[in-house]
Structure 1
């Protein structure tokens, strides 16, 4: 009884190679782009008027930032916050860092808290957040203890200042391990901010509701800029 003998491996390889050599190649039409992308430099060039306006606006902002640089004000805090949240702070990094450095030095020898003025909660919380998110060391306990009562709880009148509560809420997200005061601040602000949004349909309530869902610390810069533009 005879059995068929299979082709040798070398013969199989040779046959496959011949098939490959005779395979039809695709006959694509030439690209409509030609060599455009091979020579494209990628440099964006503004029109003359737009470029001039762009430079004028940057100069104007720098002038505002550098005004009274040795006496940083609450207006400067708002300006820095706006610039960062709008996603254009990379144009003014040196100016912002110089202002924050002055603030940090000034706060080493003074108490930020002012228990007589509820409006201070907004600016103190904002200053704390700006300093910490830009790498400056600042003690949360030293900053926020003045807003607590004799029982160790945050003072009840603070809940009337929604803007200040929102600022404290955002600051609390920059807490580090062991900062119990910021853990307490987060619980305190979330409770009262949620109560506020359930009873109001104002623009501020919409802003608070978004912050509760996505605080600045957890937002992507470009998406945050998109949402902050109409607020600004």
Structure 2
């Protein structure tokens, strides 16, 4: 995995110029083919190289960790230098992508960076510019329409307190600070549960010197981190020397050099998301080798019981569903830890993580063995929870919230056993978000999750298939006319209906013969049905039955001559 700084990302689109003297149609086709091939190549590379945005917020907290040998010096000076080199012109340290609804995220990141500089007494000019940005945008801290990082009220208030400890004068009115502290106190007084305990451990940097650090250590993972969160791990290490935390952060900086993401490790989930994306957009056939590699690697991690899968509900549910759909032997018992009573005592349950519940709902539909009551129970409580959230959520004008609720609605309305592939592809193409920004304590994005190359390739492929389908429908229309089926007044004209059912079920372009045969059989079945219902006399119906029973349809030119209408009907069947 590698990091990218979004503010310096180049446009992923390629530009192809055409020769003014060339054939415009040929040049357009050539340009489209080149774009198509380049998009495929970029996606293939993404399967092997996961890129995740840098987190200024988490990098700042890592920069604040003192050296274990001298508390007067930073343990990770490279992070401090990164902060000095990456302040934006407006004085902020921004989130993964500039966005008008991410001001809270920017405020949180900027204050964390200012605190890191103040902690080590460097970057006076940077601090001044950062404080000026905070002052001019502080009104957004209480704006409910903003996208809110997890734990913002607790963490931002905690950083304000830490600023006081560092004798840093924040340009904020005392009344505004009092409002912040009041909102924090309300959160801290919420109902007591294991989910709340996990939440308070996750936002440890906001609680600071008031935190029960021994309680926090209950959530330490095998890799030494707290929740795979660099910021929570750094805050813990700053207050409680721990070799596991130090090892995790040191390994992180060995890998990424001078800055960190908001989440690490982050390897299994984005690759599964890529697999899910190419399959759900109808372009999986272009990446069979990459898909097989992801499946095999995920299955290996599954068998080894890796924490990245089994301690994270969205990853575990997505891995289970993907592996089971593709024929891998995975037990539903792996999802036992996410039963209703366990979920609401977890961090995700406390936060009412809709993405996690949707993934569990979809995974629980993969029942292939008898007596998998666990999955049935999951379907019951997750569907109830999602319906409740859907009904309680007012119509939101913000794309981020709309996307989540659309995902919930689609999961409930279109279960996997009641979906037609081509319609699913089209719906997913229409709803695909190329700017998929996700929010933890800081926003993050990955080129592997939201990317224009996926959408471009999907649209091109979908339109190419549609062209094939249109040509096949024209071919069938000619067949109907040649066989004079359109002259049968008693028969319903169901060609489009019959072909639609074929194209929606037998999608791949190479299955043309199967689609045509399906549609023809559907049309002929409709004709016979109508002939028996309204079109034929009793004698004619008996004649047709006798014809079928005697095998005349298979005799072709050897069929004996029949007279009148019966002959025409027999010839129709023999020639189709």
Shorter-chain TM-score above 0.5 = yes
Tell me whether 1:230 sits opposite 2:427 in the alignment. no
Distance 2:289 2:267 in 1: 15
Distance across 1 between alignment mates of 2:303 and 2:375? 20
Name the structure 2 match of 1:190.
383
Please report how far the alpha carbon of residue 218 of structure 1 lies from its aligned counterpart in structure 2 after TM superposition.
2.9
Residue of structure 1 equivalent to 2:356: 164
Whole-angstrom CA distance in 2 between matches of 1:146 and 1:80: 25
Aligned to 1:213: 413
> Taking structure 1 as the reference length, what is the TM-score of the superposition?
0.70
Equivalent position SS for 2:367: coil
Quick check: 2:317–2:359 contact (8 Å CA) kept in 1? yes
CA apart distance, 1:211: 1.5
Q: Which residue of 2 aligns with 1:35?
A: none
Alignment of 1:53-132 (within 5 A): 53-67=35-49, 72-110=267-305, 112-114=309-311, 120-132=312-324
In the alignment, structure 1 residue 139 sits paired with structure 2 residue 121: no
Query: Distance in 2 between the 1:216 and 1:79 partners?
Result: 19
Distance, in Å, in 2 between the alignment partners of 1:155 and 1:72 is 23
The superposition leaves residues 184-227 of structure 1 with CA deviations (integer Å, 9 ceiling, x where unpaired) of: 11001011001011011342223312221112343111111111
CA contact (8 A) 2:281 2:425 kept: yes
Q: Aligned equivalents of 1:60 and 1:199: distance in 2?
A: 41
- The one of 178, 181, 186 equivalent to 2:371 is 178
Q: Does 1:155 align with 2:355?
A: no
Unmatched segments (≥5 aa) in structure 2: 1-27, 51-265, 397-401, 433-576
User: CA 1:129–1:216 in structure 2 vs 1: closer, same or farther (change >3 Å)?
Assistant: same
**Alpha-carbon deviations, 1:48-91, whole Å to 9, x = none?**
111111111111111111337xx953211111111110010011
Distance in 1 (CA, whole Å) between partners of 2:300 and 2:310 is: 16
Q: What root-mean-square deviation, in Å, do the aligned CA atoms of Structure 1 and Structure 2 show?
A: 2.2
- Length-normalised TM-score, structure 2: 0.29
Count of matched residue positions in the alignment of Structure 1 and Structure 2: 177
